[in-house]
Amino acid sequence: MEPKKPPQDFTLRVRRYDPESGEAPYWDEHTIQLEPHRSVLEGLLQAKGRFDGSIGVRCSCKAAICGSCGVRVNGQPGLACHTHLGDALKTAKNGVIDVEPMGNMPVIKDLIVDMDAVHWKKIQRVTPWLLADDENMPEREHIVPKEAMVDVTQTMACIQCGACVSDCLSMEVDPLFIGPAALAKSYRFVGDPRDTQQAERLKDIAEDPHGMYSCTHCFKCIEACPKGVAPMSQIMRLRRRATGDHHIKDRNNGFNHEKAFVKNINKNGLLHENDLLADSFGGKLNPASGLFLAKSLPVITRALLRGKATLKVALLHPHKAPADVKRIFDTIENRDKRNEFNLYISGTDEDNAPNQPEEAPQNGAHAGQEATA
């Protein structure tokens, strides 16, 4: 254990905004005094108590359980109560800790954003309750396999703080995107063996033009989540189930894109972009493919003129996958069951070793697991 450090000065720069005032947002600075292991939330409350009672901040448990105090600290989304002042100082520019409201949601006042208008509306969008078989209810409790419930525990750790929604980069340009929190919630039920509507749920979010195929793999939500939920990994699980288990062919080319990509690597070892583009729209002869390629024609022509793509590479495919790549595909694709290794659930060998020394966990996923234990 590190020895406790004495109180020190921290300067907080708080973004203030009251939409009803008609005034533009502005920054306010307050210097507070606390030990470095105390939280940014405690700093904000001290500033509110000592200097300016009008600072708007939402909070309740102060223990990373209730999910009320989501903010951005030095541009990174998270819980104010779960961020140490000392750590915040390390990422602060010029020694001043910036505290702002979360993004992608309208500000009600200062650090308080309208979760109803965005986050909760999206959560409701995915039918966030169990759709069990009401007509054939068991006499007593449902008996489910342990592994199936362990699989959904990661999504169950969500405390609805909105940190992932705040920084979703797809939502930044497409506010209709269902988003990371709601899609992770969707997996909570898609992965639950008691739910009778798994295929329907998947079809719904696969067909939505702003659904699960609008996630760009940017990892922002994984980085943002204070509880290790890794919403993007849940979105990947949804896609895996939609295409691999339910064979849902969606209008957004999600199914085609995945199949085309995998086929491409199996055949060539390397990616051939021309084939991938056409196959992602259902093959070269598919009207949708033609339409997209026609729209892209000026771009492709320019690429050809510039010598980026050559006809030889486009048509002859000089690179073929070595035989061992094909063999690996065959071995793994022919297994009875897909293997998935989730570090959040299994932990690392190091974590699981007996007589583990008392050290802080190494990464976010384990920190999350620890916090929910």
Q: Does 343 bind other proteins (CB under 8 A)?
A: yes
CB nearer to other proteins: give 101 or 254.
Answer: 254
Residue 247 DSSP label:
-
Query: For residue 314, how many other CB atoms are within 10 A of its CB?
Result: 15
Torsion angle of alpha carbons 180, 181, 184, 189, nearest 10°? -140
Residues 146-175 that bind other proteins (CB under 8 A): 169-170, 172-174
Closest contact distance (angstroms) between CB of 84 and other proteins is 14
Among residues 269, 286, 371, 372, which is the contact residue for other proteins, using CB under 8 A? Answer: 269
Residues 67-106 that bind other proteins (CB under 8 A): 90
Residues 6+ apart with CB under 8 A from 65: 159
Mask for 221-260, x = binds other proteins (CB under 8 A): -xx------------x--xx--xx-------xxx--xx--
By CB under 8 A, tell whether 214 contacts other proteins: yes
Tell whether residue 203 is a contact of other proteins (CB under 8 A): no
Shortest CB 271 distance to other proteins, Å? 4
Residue of 89, 156, 303, 345 that binds other proteins (CB under 8 A): 303
**Choices 8-16, 22-30, 57-65, 341-349 (CB under 8 A): range interacting with other proteins:** 341-349
Pairing assessment for the beta strands 96-100 and 76-79 based on DSSP bridges: unpaired
Q: Per rule CB under 8 A, is residue 333 in the interface with other proteins?
A: yes
Is residue 187 a contact point for other proteins (CB under 8 A)?
no
Cβ atoms within 10 Å, residue 21 = 9
Q: Whole-angstrom Cα distance, residue 92 to residue 69?
A: 19
Distance, CA of 299 to CA of 124 (rounded, Å): 40
Nearest approach, Cβ of 313 to other proteins (angstroms)?
7
- Compute the least distance from the CB of residue 57 to other proteins, in Å: 25
Query: Does residue 334 touch other proteins according to CB under 8 A?
Result: no
Let me know: does 193 contact 148? Beta carbons within 8 Å: yes
- The window from 2-10, 59-67, 158-166, 326-334 that contacts other proteins (CB under 8 A) reads 326-334
- Comparing CA positions, the residue from 36, 29, 30, 41 lying closest to residue 8 is 36
Q: Which CB atom, from 48 or from 77, has the smaller least distance to other proteins?
A: 77
SS (H, E, C) 268-291: HCCCCHHHHHHHHCCCCCCHHHHH
Binders in 3-42 for other proteins, by CB under 8 A: none
Least distance (Å) between residue 341 CB and other proteins: 5
**Binds other proteins (CB under 8 A): choice among 50, 247, 284, 302:** 302
Crossing angle of helices 180-190/231-240, nearest 10°? 50
Q: Enter the tokens of residue 23.
A: 């005034």
What is the C-alpha to C-alpha distance for residues 252 and 167, in angstroms, rounded to an integer? 24
Give the range of 29-37, 43-51, 52-60, 327-335 binding other proteins by CB under 8 A. Answer: 327-335
Least distance (Å) between residue 61 CB and other proteins: 26
Helix (H, G, I), strand (E, B) or coil at 11: strand
Residue closer to other proteins (CB basis): 277 or 371? 277
Q: Looking at the DSSP assignment, which residues form a beta bridge with residue 222?
A: none
- The C-alpha atoms of residue 348 and residue 350 are separated, in whole angstroms, by 5
